[in-house]
Amino acid sequence: MVMEKLQPNSQKIDAQNLLRRIRYRHLQVLLAVARHGSLTAAAASLDITQPAVSQWLSDIESAVGGRLFVRGQPLRPTALAAPMLAHAVRMLNDAQRVVEEVNAINAGATGMVRMGAMQVAAASLVPNVLLKFQEKFPTINLSLIEDVAAGLWARFERNELDLLVTRLDARAIESGLPQRRLFVDQHRVVCGLKHPLLSRKKIQWQDISVYPWLMPTPGTPLRNAVEMTFAQEGIAFPRILLSSVSPTSNPIFLNSTHAVAIMSSAAASNLEKHGVLRTLPLTLTQEIGDVGLVWRETSPGPSLSALINAFESECE
């Protein structure tokens, strides 16, 4: 989303005054206008009138001391809108979290933890931990989302998740958030069950460069690590069949073609054990980080602390 620049404004916003003036409905209107790019469409999505949306938007702009959207077709957010939109998402998710926790407690729960995990952890570690945890703490409600790192971090920044089980890569380290290392996991090259390379006794990177690849998404740490490996091996980058790390589709593509892919050792071992894929004896020359936990609060609550401790105990 392109943000329109504003002229410098020396006006400072008083936090207490802003909090007094901004209501829940203001945040809903702000996000609806940004999502739809139109006051009319935003009004329809919120089931209110277009003049009402105009008034709510005018109230917000008055409170923050500047324009949040450049009028036109579509409406374009200004630079001032960026922090307002980011915080509006988090505040609405905070409100939703309160509702979910209250409902859970009213239903007999003692706590709630929303967790996101990458495939490297979801293959075996996460199920093992959660089964034992729920047996020990049956009144703590747990929810689990499995996704790639980018998707998990986006949800985490919107405050949709309390705990990440992810790679402790540069993004995690630079975040400054509390984290805990769990285990080391190298990536492995994988292929279908009938790939020609499986008949060879010795395989090198040069050998797999002639086959098409299912590559990680461009710009991700894993894609960069694959590109670095080919560069350090002095080998031309292979043909890309598809940019995908889908745990569902990739095994189908691999068994239907002679393509190869890169996958965490934990996930690859699990799929090989179930007769879905085969691993090749090759690893990246540069890894992207150990697997660990990341959370938000310096002093996490009792439910989250108990889950963190459960992961640590499982990995000792």
The residue-averaged pLDDT of 96-122 equals 83
Structure confidence at residue 10 (pLDDT) = 53
**Is 1.10.1740.10 the CATH number for 187-283?**
no
Instruction: Break the chain into its structural domains and give their ranges.
Output: 15-90, 117-182+290-315, 187-283
The verdict on pTM exceeding 0.85 is no
117-182+290-315 shares the fold of 15-90: no
pLDDT given at position 192: 97
Q: Residue 1 pLDDT more than 60? A: no
pLDDT at 233 over 90: yes
Query: What's the CATH number for 15-90?
Result: 1.10.10.10
Kindly state the tokens that stand for 63.
Answer: 């409170």
Q: Is the pLDDT of residue 5 over 80?
A: no
For residues 307 and 313, what is the distance between their CA atoms, to the nearest angstrom?
10
Separation of alpha carbons 129 and 311, rounded Å: 6
Alpha helices in 65-169 (DSSP H): 81-106, 119-122, 125-136, 149-157
Tell me which residue has tokens 């894609």: 223
Name the band, by pLDDT with cuts 50, 70 and 90, for residue 11.
Answer: low
Range in 52-56, 83-87, 197-201, 309-313 with the lowest mean pLDDT: 83-87
Other C-beta atoms lying within 10 Å of the C-beta of residue 31: 18
Look over the chain and give the mean of its residue pLDDT values, rounded to a whole number: 89
- Residue 14 has φ and ψ, to the nearest 5°, of -85, 125
Fold of 117-182+290-315: D-Maltodextrin-Binding Protein; domain 2 (3.40.190)
Look at residues 114, 131, 128, 117 and name the one whose alpha carbon lies nearest to residue 292: 117
Sign of CA dihedral 214, 220, 222, 224: positive
The full 3-state SS of 254-270, as one line of letters, equals HHHCCCEEEEEHHHHHH
